[in-house]
Structure 1
Amino acid sequence: MPIPSRAALVDHLVRTRIAGDVATPRDNNLSHYRKLANGDRHYWLGLELGDRWTDEQDVLAVMAERCGVSDDPAHRHGQDTIDPELTVDALDRMAARLRKAAADSERVLFATGHPGGLLDVHRRTAEALRAAGCEILRIPSGLVTEEGMVFQFADVAVLEHGATLWHTHSPIPMAAILDGYERQGTPRPDLVVADHGWAGCAGQRGIDTVGYADSNDPALFLAEAEGTLQVTVPLDDHVTDPRFYDPMTDYLLDAAGLL
């Protein structure tokens, strides 16, 4: 398939509801913003936000700016949006960081807490970076957390629970990987490409991190605003068919010079 132009990708994102009018309802978004502001660590995704984001309206303002949700605090229910132009802008920023990784033959770790949606996006990116000369890191063996086992599938670290790849927002699996590297004397990654708590934990530890986040996961957008994460790409992270992400990945890899 041809690499989509920016305009074609924007149309595709809206048509498949990766962006535009997304499935996540407004009340769910606002509930998560409020819980983050109230200090619920589940919504901090491994980041240490301190008392910097205790006002729900401040969180909403960042999400409107960086994700494209409605900035109207009176809009409490119904449809909410992700601005597809912001999605493509963030893909361009991510592409620039991937291009640097390839130029410098960096050591890169991939991880996902949303394997049902983003596993193949990460897998294809890892494959392209390896072909460009990067080392795609293996995780330490035998990692077990309270949530399940941490292992690698198609170059991407995931959480396994009950013989199933597990959806998790937790930072604990990434912490287990990074602590495992330290125990065995392995240098930490030059770059982490991830989502959810996997990205938050890596960024909080000072590792260059780029990732993806949905409109109801504000922590990674706040982290980008503060400089803890380098890039956060706004998108619906679990649409009805994972193949819908293929044109987006094609655009990203082409912009990074990896196709």
Structure 2
Amino acid sequence: MAHMPIPSAVPSRAELIDHLVRTRTAGDVATPREVNLSHYRKLASGDRHFWLGLELGDRWTDERDVLAVMTEWCGVNGDPLHLSGQDTIDPELTVGALERMAAVLRKAVEARARVLFATGHPGALLEVHSATASALHAAGCEVVEIPDGLHVDDQTVVQLCDVAMLERAARLRHTHSPAPMAAILNGMVREGRPMPDLVVADHGWAGYAAQRGIDTVGYADCNDPALFLGEAEGTIEAVVPLDDHISNPRLYAPMTAYLLNTAGLTAQF
């Protein structure tokens, strides 16, 4: 699989914000307000599907508190009476989170860290993760190889372009489940291998790794509040708010270029 093209000129902060808004990666995003509120409500009611591998206990049982965190960390509309229609992601918060993620990546390079990449959105974020993995590897980090023969129900945990994901019947699968990351980490324990120093992921892959005490950074949409709660509580190092499945994944390229440049990394293609 070819890596995504990264512009030769890394966008400035202002140029990236403009790009995020124009492509609806941030700004007025496609996820409807009613879907966001429904997910916040289900998380608060204890539906573990929406906890994304984190253990939230009874700390987030009021959906208004969840909305307040999402307003602060993601930039959704903070009015609890705004019940339907357009919702938003603040592009300034997106870029700010990219800069926090970049700081974590710089530390990983300094420590020659062992880094594991994984995605529940292979149709959208695979190349973002893969480009980051290539850059970290070139800078001296070890990209963790997952154990062989891992399965979750009738699906297989595979690793392509240095990124772990789920596959079934020769198709890569979208998933919010923490089970694939649990399978990887438990498999590493069985083989006597050390845990990764850092996980770069999304969805339940990120939440479960963070819950296991591994330094974790990742990406999340405005309808996936759990990871933002994790950052607010200090369980996750950085969560980048964005539409995690825009129509053309190549439009994430300027964002990836900005991330790697800010981290002092050079993209490898």
Place the TM-score, normalised by the shorter chain, in its bin.
over 0.9
Superposed displacement of residue 82, structure 1: 0.1
What is the one-letter code of the residue matched to 2:97?
A: A
Aligned to 1:92: 99
Aligned to 1:81: 88
Aligned to 1:68, the other structure's residue is in SS state coil
Superposed displacement of residue 162, structure 1: 1.6
| Partner deviation per Cα, 1:111-169 (whole Å, 9 max, x = no partner) | 00001110000000000000000000000000011151001010000000121000000
CA–CA separation in structure 2 for the residues paired with 1:7 and 1:133: 31
Aligned to 1:187: 194
CA–CA separation in structure 2 for the residues paired with 1:45 and 1:146: 18
Aligned to 2:169: 162
CA–CA separation in structure 1 for the residues paired with 2:92 and 2:260: 18
Gap change, CA 1:111 and 1:61, over 3 Å in 2: same
Aligned to 2:9: 2
Alignment length, in residue pairs? Answer: 259
Aligned to 2:115: 108
Aligned to 1:237: 244
RMSD between aligned residues: 0.5
CA–CA separation in structure 1 for the residues paired with 2:26 and 2:168: 30
What is the one-letter code of the residue matched to 2:68?
A: A
Aligned to 2:157, the other structure's residue is in SS state strand
Residues 1:62 and 2:62 are matched in the alignment: no
| Partner deviation per Cα, 1:57-94 (whole Å, 9 max, x = no partner) | 00000000000000000000000000000000000000
What is the one-letter code of the residue matched to 1:8?
A: E
Aligned to 2:264: 257
What is the one-letter code of the residue matched to 2:107?
A: K
CA–CA separation in structure 2 for the residues paired with 1:184 and 1:11: 47
What is the one-letter code of the residue matched to 1:98?
A: L
Aligned to 2:215: 208
Gap change, CA 1:77 and 1:147, over 3 Å in 2: farther
Aligned to 1:152, the other structure's residue is in SS state strand
Aligned to 1:130: 137
Which 4+ residue blocks in structure 1 deviate beyond 4 angstroms? none
Aligned to 1:14: 21
What is the one-letter code of the residue matched to 1:179?
A: N
CA–CA separation in structure 2 for the residues paired with 1:44 and 1:229: 13
**Aligned match for 1:52, one of 38, 59, 64:** 59
Which segments of 5 or more consecutive residues in structure 1 lack a partner in the other structure?
A: none
CA–CA separation in structure 2 for the residues paired with 1:162 and 1:228: 35
Superposed displacement of residue 28, structure 1: 0.2
Which segments of 5 or more consecutive residues in structure 2 lack a partner in the other structure?
A: 1-7
Calculate the TM-score normalised by the size of structure 1. 0.99
Calculate the TM-score normalised by the size of structure 2. 0.96
Superposed displacement of residue 249, structure 1: 0.1
What is the one-letter code of the residue matched to 1:234?
A: P
Residues 1:72 and 2:79 are matched in the alignment: yes
